[in-house]
Amino acid sequence: MTGSETRSVPPAGRIAVLLPYPLAGAYDYAVVEGPAPAPGTFVLAPLGPRRVIGVVWGSGDGAVADDRLKPLHGALEVPPMPAVQRRFIDWVAHYTMSPPGAVLKMALSGSGLPESPRPVLVYRRSDRPWPAGLKVTPARRRVLAVFDHVPALTLADLSREAGCGQAVVRGLAEAGVLDGTPVAQTALAPVPDWTRPGPTLSPDQAAAAATLRRMLDADGFSVTLLDGVTGSGKTEVYLEAVATCLARGRQVLVLLPEIALGAQWLDRFARRFGVAPHTWHSDMTAARRHETWHAVAQGLSRIVVGARSALFLPFPDLGLIVVDEEHDAGFKQDDGVIYHARDMAVVRAHLAGIPVVLASATPSLETVTNVEASRYGRIVLPHRHGGAVLPDIALVDLRTEPPGREQWLGPRLRSALAEALAAGEQAMLFLNRRGYAPLTLCRACGHQLRCPQCAAWLVEHRLRRRRLCHHCGHVVPQTDRCPACGETGVLHACGPGVERIAEEAAALFPHARALLLTSDTLHGPASVAEAVRRITQQEVDLVIGTQVVAKGHHFPMLTLVGVVDADLGLSGGDLRAAERTYQLLHQVAGRAGRAERPGRVLLQSYQPDHPVMVALADGDRDHFLALESGERQAMGWPPFGRLVALIVSGTDEPLVDEVSTTLGRVAPRSDRVDVLGPAPAPLALLRGRHRRRLLLRAERGIAVQTVVARWLEAVTVPSKVRVQIDVDPYSFL
C-alpha cells in the first residue's frame, strides 16, 4: 500500500465489502466522506492495483488497523443487493464450503457491472396525424399493425416482428408516423398479462391450482411437490400460481433444466400471458444478460424462466419459485461453486418466506422422502389431460429376441416401427449416447483409441468425421489407420451411438423422413424450435435422439417410442443409477401417445427382471421408490445419510497419491461418520489431471461442513494439488 492511499479514519467509517473473488471473506475499507453506504450497496473498491466492484456486506470487523485501511472509491447507481440475497449468498457459501466471494461472483455474472446498460432507441406510433399522401405499403402496414399489441419496440425487434427491413421503419420515423425515443433498456421489460384467462381446468387440476393459491395466500415458506403423470397438466396448474403471484405484483422465478428451456415452453407461456418471459441461461448474448439482470434488480422484470444460475439473480421481491422437472440432474452444478439448484431454491424460498413448487412426474427420492416426512406437501395429478391414456410399456428381452449381428434394433422393435410408419404415425428411437460408436478397436493389434488426457475412449462422430473425447473435448480427425500399428482399414467401430441407430433405421426404412436430434445437431434454442416445429407439423416420420428428446416436448402424432438400450444407465458406481434410469426412461416413454392416439413403448433390455424395468413395465413407480428407499436406508446413502466427496487432483501423480493417502489416514471416523477411499476416480485421468476420490458418509443429523473443515485443517495441501469439495455429490466420476 502506498502512503498516499493511507488515511486515518474514525471507526464509524469502516465497512466490510464482499468482492466477487474466491477470497477468505469480506474486506474492510474506509469510508472517507459522507455517511457509510448501507449494506447491499454496490461500490467500487481498490484491490491491489485495480478497482473492483463489491457489495457492502456489513460493518468492518476491525482486523485491519484504521490507518491501514484503503478508501472506497464510491457507490454505483444500481439498486442495492436485497438483504435476503446477501443472506442467501452467505448460506450457499457455508453449505457448499465455497468462499462467499465465489458465490457473489455467480450472482454478478452477466450484470456487466460496473457498467450499467446504455439507453436504447425505441419506436412508438406517434399521436400526430399522418402526413397527407403517406404511402401505406404492405410492409408499412405490417409495421403499424405490430403496435396493436405492443407499445414500443427497438428498431431490430420491430423490423423482425414486422418481417421487413430496418429502412421501412426508419422511413416511417422520418415521415413522422413513428417516434423514436431513448429509454433505459430495462424499461423494455415485457409485462405479462395475468388477467388473461387460462384453459378451463379439469376438477383435479382446479383443485391443485387452488391448493397452490392457498400456499401463496398463506404468505410464508412452504414446499409443495406437484406430482403428476406426464401430460397431466402440471405446467398449466403451476402457471395458475404464477398468475396469482404476478397479480400481487411480486416476482416469479421458474427454474427449468436447461434443455427444457425450449421454444414450446416459451410459446405456451406467451399464449397464456401475452408476452414472452425473461429467460436466463448459458446461451444468451452478453447484452441480453446485462439487460435482464438489471431488469430483475430494478423489479421491472416480473418473471424469469431460467436454468439453475437464475437462482442467483437479484430479485428484490420474489414471491414464488417453481422448479420444474425437479428430479433433473441438470440442476446440479458440478464445477466452481458446486450446488444443487433445486435444494438451493428451497433455501432461497425459506429465507424469503415464500412458497416453492417442485414439479415432476418422477420426483427424486430426496423429495419423496421429504413428502413422507411431512416436510413437504404433495399434490397428485394421476391422469393425463383430455382422456389421453398413458402409453403401454412393454419389455423386449434381448436375451431371447436378439437383434442381428452388428444391429441394434431387434425384430419386435423393427415390426413396431414398420406398423407405426405404415399407419402414418410418428415414431421415436431413443439411445442416450452421442456419436456413432463409443469405442474404436484395431482388428490387427487390439489397440483401443483412447483420449491422451483422460481415462476414456474416443467416441467416433462419423457425421463430423472425427473422434472425440466426451470429457475434455479432445479431437482427432477420423482416419482408418491404427495409430498404434499403422495398419489401414482395420479400425472397427464397437457398439452404437445414435448416429449408428440412424444409419440402421435408414437402411430399414429408406423412405421414412428421419431427424437425428442430439446436442451435436442442435445448436441453441432456435434449432431446437425448428426441430420441434418440423416434428409437430409432421415433416418428420422418425425421430432418433439422445436425452435432448426425452424432456418436456409434446408431439401429438408420436405413437411409438423405442428405447434401444434400456440398460445403458444402470452400470457404473452411481448410487442413483437405478433412480436416474427410471426417471429418464419414464420421461422418454411419456413422449408417446400424448393426444388422441394411444402410445406404445418398447424397452429393449438384457435385464428385464431388473426392478427398474419391472417398475416401468408395470407403471408402479411407488413400489420402485419403496424398494430403492429401503436399499438406500440400509446403506446409509442419501437421503437417509449425508455424503461429501473430496476429489483430489493434479498433474503430479505421486503427489496426488500422497495427499489422498494422508487425507485417508487422518479421515474422521466414528460410529456416525465414515470415509470411503481414497480410490482412483472412475475418471482417474481428466484433462491431464490425475484424480482420486474420498467419500465421507455421515448420519443425517451431522453438520458435515464442520467435520470436513476440521479434516482439511489437519492436512497441508501443496499448491500443485487441488482438493475439490462436493457436498451432496450427484456425480461419482
Q: Which residues bind ligand ADP (CB under 6 A)?
A: 199-202, 205, 228, 230-236, 385, 554
Nearer to Zn ion, 454 or 612 (CB): 454
Question: In the set 253, 398, 417, 472, which binds Zn ion (CB under 5 A)?
Answer: 472
- H helices of 274-352, where? 286-297, 341-352
Question: In the set 453, 536, 538, 662, which binds Zn ion (CB under 5 A)?
Answer: 453
Nearer to Zn ion, 427 or 683 (CB): 683
Rounded Cα distance between 603 and 151, Å, is 52
**Shortest distance (Å) from residue 21 CB to ligand ADP:** 41
451 contact, one of Zn ion, ligand ADP, none, CB 5-8 Å limit per kind: Zn ion
474 contact, one of ligand ADP, Zn ion, none, CB 5-8 Å limit per kind: Zn ion
Q: Please give the residues from 161 up to 180 whose contact with Zn ion meets the rule CB under 5 A.
A: none
Which residues make beta-bridge pairs with 563? 430, 603
Query: CB-based contacts of 372: which residues, under 8 Å, 6+ apart?
Result: none
678 contact, one of ligand ADP, Zn ion, none, CB 5-8 Å limit per kind: none
Question: In the set 318, 451, 514, 612, which binds Zn ion (CB under 5 A)?
Answer: 451
Q: Please give the residues from 474 up to 533 whose contact with Zn ion meets the rule CB under 5 A.
A: 474
Query: CB-based contacts of 587: which residues, under 8 Å, 6+ apart?
Result: 230, 361, 362, 550, 551
Give all strands of the β-sheet with 120-125 in edge-to-edge order. Answer: 153-154, 120-125, 178-183
Residue 416 is inside which H or E element, if any? helix 411-422
Query: CB-based contacts of 174: which residues, under 8 Å, 6+ apart?
Result: none
Peptide bond into 678 cis (omega under 30): yes
Size of the site for Zn ion (CB under 5 A): 7
471 contact, one of Zn ion, ligand ADP, none, CB 5-8 Å limit per kind: Zn ion
**Shortest distance (Å) from residue 442 CB to ligand ADP:** 47
Residue 609, phi then psi, degrees to nearest 5: -95, -5
534 contact, one of Zn ion, ligand ADP, none, CB 5-8 Å limit per kind: none
Answer for the pair 602, 610: CB distance below 8 angstroms, yes or no. no
Nearer to ligand ADP, 234 or 340 (CB): 234
**Shortest distance (Å) from residue 25 CB to Zn ion:** 36
**Shortest distance (Å) from residue 257 CB to Zn ion:** 25
Which residues make beta-bridge pairs with 253? 304, 321
Nearer to ligand ADP, 163 or 199 (CB): 199
Nearer to ligand ADP, 289 or 554 (CB): 554
285 contact, one of ligand ADP, Zn ion, none, CB 5-8 Å limit per kind: none
454 contact, one of ligand ADP, Zn ion, none, CB 5-8 Å limit per kind: Zn ion
Q: Is 302 in the site for Zn ion (CB under 5 A)?
A: no
**Shortest distance (Å) from residue 304 CB to ligand ADP:** 19
Q: Is 469 in the site for Zn ion (CB under 5 A)?
A: yes
Angstrom distances, CA of residue 111 to CA of 52, 233, 260, 295, 727: 14, 35, 24, 10, 28
Packed helices 166-174 and 155-162: angle between N→C axes, nearest 10 degrees: 110
12-41: string of b/e by CB count within 10 Å (b at 16+)? ebbbbbbbbeeeeebbbbbbeeeebbebbb
DSSP 633-689: HHHT-TTTEEEEEEEEEES-HHHHHHHHHHHHHT---SSSEEEEEEEEEEEEEETTE
228 contact, one of Zn ion, ligand ADP, none, CB 5-8 Å limit per kind: ligand ADP
Question: In the set 107, 122, 428, 454, which binds Zn ion (CB under 5 A)?
Answer: 454
**Shortest distance (Å) from residue 72 CB to Zn ion:** 45
649 contact, one of Zn ion, ligand ADP, none, CB 5-8 Å limit per kind: none
Rounded Cα distance between 124 and 245, Å, is 30
Question: In the set 471, 534, 554, 722, which binds Zn ion (CB under 5 A)?
Answer: 471
Answer for the pair 547, 581: CB distance below 8 angstroms, yes or no. no
Residue numbers of the site for Zn ion (CB under 5 A)?
Answer: 451, 453-454, 469, 471-472, 474
